[in-house]
Amino acid sequence: MPSSPVSTSSSPSSLARLWGLDGSVTFLNHGSFGACPLRVLERQQELRRRLEAEPVRFMIRELEAELDRARAALAAFVGADPDDLVFVPNATTGVNTVLRSLPLRAGDELLITNQAYNACHQALNAVAEQSGATVTVVPVPFPLRDASEIVDAVLAAVTPRTRLALLDHVTSPTGLVLPIERLVPALAERGVDSLVDGAHAPGMVPLDLRRLGAAYYTANCHKWLCAPKGAALLVVRRDRQPLVRPLVTSHGRNSPRRDRSRFQLEFGWTGTDDPTACLCVPDALEHLGAQLPGGWPQLMRANHELVLQARDLLCRALRVSQPAPDDMLGSLASVPLPDGSGEVPDHGPGIDPLQERLWSEHAIDVPVFTWPAPPRRLIRVSAQAYNDRAQYERLAAALAKLL
C-alpha cells in the first residue's frame, strides 16, 4: 500500500481557502472527524499560549467565566438553556455519561435501532450486561420511502418495561435524519425517556432542544460546527439532572458553592485537561456563520443541496434508485454499492478494499461501510462548504472504473 495517495486536482469550492485541507486529496469525508478552519485553529493556539503563559491565572481565575460564555453561545445556537448544557469531549462520552448514570434494573428494556453508531450501541450493551437489562434492536429499513416507517418500527417495539430509547438524530452509516421531533414526544407519552445521539446534528440541521424536550441530548461540535476536536455538548432536562453524574468524579461533588447547580459544578471541572476546543466554539459559530449572506441557515441549505447532487450522481453511476427521500437527508448521503467480498479485516483500521483503492489510486477520501452485514456495503458522501460538485463527479467516474 502506498504511503500517500496519487496527487490529482480536486476542484474545491472557493471557500476551501478557509481550511488547511490537503489540496492533492478530494476530501469527501467531513462526516467522520470534521475539519476545523484555519482561523479557528489560530484562535485555539492563542488560547493555548495564554494558558501556558500563566496556567494558574487561566485555569483558576479565568476559565470558568470563559466556559460560561462559550456555553451561552452554543446554547443559543442549539436552542437550549445554558444551565442545562455542559461540555463533554465528544458525543460518545455524552452517551456513556447518561447510560452509566441511570438506575437500571434487571428486566428493564432499552431500545436502539440497527442504524445506531456502533460505539454507542456497545455502551448500551455494556450497561445492560451490568444491570441485567435487555437491549431491543429495532430494524430500520434502508432504502426506505417515508419517515413513518421509522416511527412505526420504533413505537411497535415499546413495551411496559421499556425505560429508554437511544436514538441517532443523524445516522452514521446511512446519513438519515431520523424523525426525532415525532419520536421523542410519542415515546414520552408511553413513559419512555429518549437519549438522542446528535453527533452530526449541530450545524447540519436546525435545532431547538427546548422544544424537542428530550430527557438527554448529546452532540459533537467538531463535525458540522467545525470547532476543534474535543468539544461536544450534553444537554440534560432539568428534572433529570439529579440522576446524571460525569464519568470522572472530582471537586464538584462536595463543593460548598451555591451560585450554580450541582450539575454545573460537577461537569465544570473533572480534572486538568485542555479546555481550548470548547472555548473556540463561539469562534467557529461566528466564523462560518459569516461566510454566506444568510448565515448558518444558508450554509446548512447549501450543504443539503450539494449532498443531494452528490447522491444523484452516485445513483446514476451505480444504477441504483435513490434510497431515501430528500427531506430525510442533511449533508450526508449513503448509496448502496455492489456486494463486497464478505471478508471483514481482523487487523489494522479495517478499511474496505474499495475505499483504499479510491484513496491510493484516485486520491479520493470517502468512506465505504459494511452495512447492515457482509457482504452488503454502502458508500457515504459528505457535503461541506469546501466541497464542489466536480469532486463528486470525479468520485462517480472513479467508481465506474473500479466496479
pLDDT at 392: 98
Distance CA 60, CA 48 (A): 15
Domain boundary among 285, 311, 341: 285
Domain boundary among 221, 256, 285: 285
- 298 and 280: one domain? no
- 307 and 188: one domain? no
The per-residue pLDDT for range 47-86, each reduced to its tens digit, is 999 999 999 999 999 999 999 999 999 999 999 999 999 9
Global pTM?
A: 0.95
- 76 and 97: one domain? yes
Q: Position of cell 415499546?
A: 158
> Could you tell me the CATH number of the domain that includes residue 82?
3.40.640.10
- 276 and 304: one domain? no
- 213 and 73: one domain? yes
Task: Kindly write down the DSSP assignment for every residue of 305-358, as one continuous string.
Answer: HHHHHHHHHHHHHHT----S-GGGBSSEEEEEE----S----STT---HHHHHH
Total number of domains in the chain: 2
The per-residue pLDDT for range 352-377, each reduced to its tens digit, is 999 999 999 999 999 999 999 889 99
Cβ 381 vs Cβ 307: under 8 Å: yes
- Pinpoint the alpha helices (H) of 62-179: 63-78, 91-99, 118-131, 148-156
**Domain-located, residue 365:** yes
pLDDT confidence bin for 129, thresholds 50/70/90 = very high
pLDDT confidence bin for 348, thresholds 50/70/90 = low
Cβ 88 vs Cβ 233: under 8 Å: yes
- 330 and 392: one domain? yes
Of 293, 289, 369, 302, which Cα lies nearest the Cα of 331?
A: 302
- 275 and 342: one domain? no
pLDDT confidence bin for 8, thresholds 50/70/90 = very low
Cβ 381 vs Cβ 332: under 8 Å: yes
Distance CA 37, CA 13 (A): 14
pLDDT at 340: 85
pLDDT at 14: 87
The per-residue pLDDT for range 203-258, each reduced to its tens digit, is 999 999 999 999 999 999 999 999 999 999 999 999 999 999 999 999 999 999 99
Domain boundary among 257, 285, 313: 285
378: which strand partners? 336, 369
Q: Which domain holds residue 364?
A: 14-28+293-402
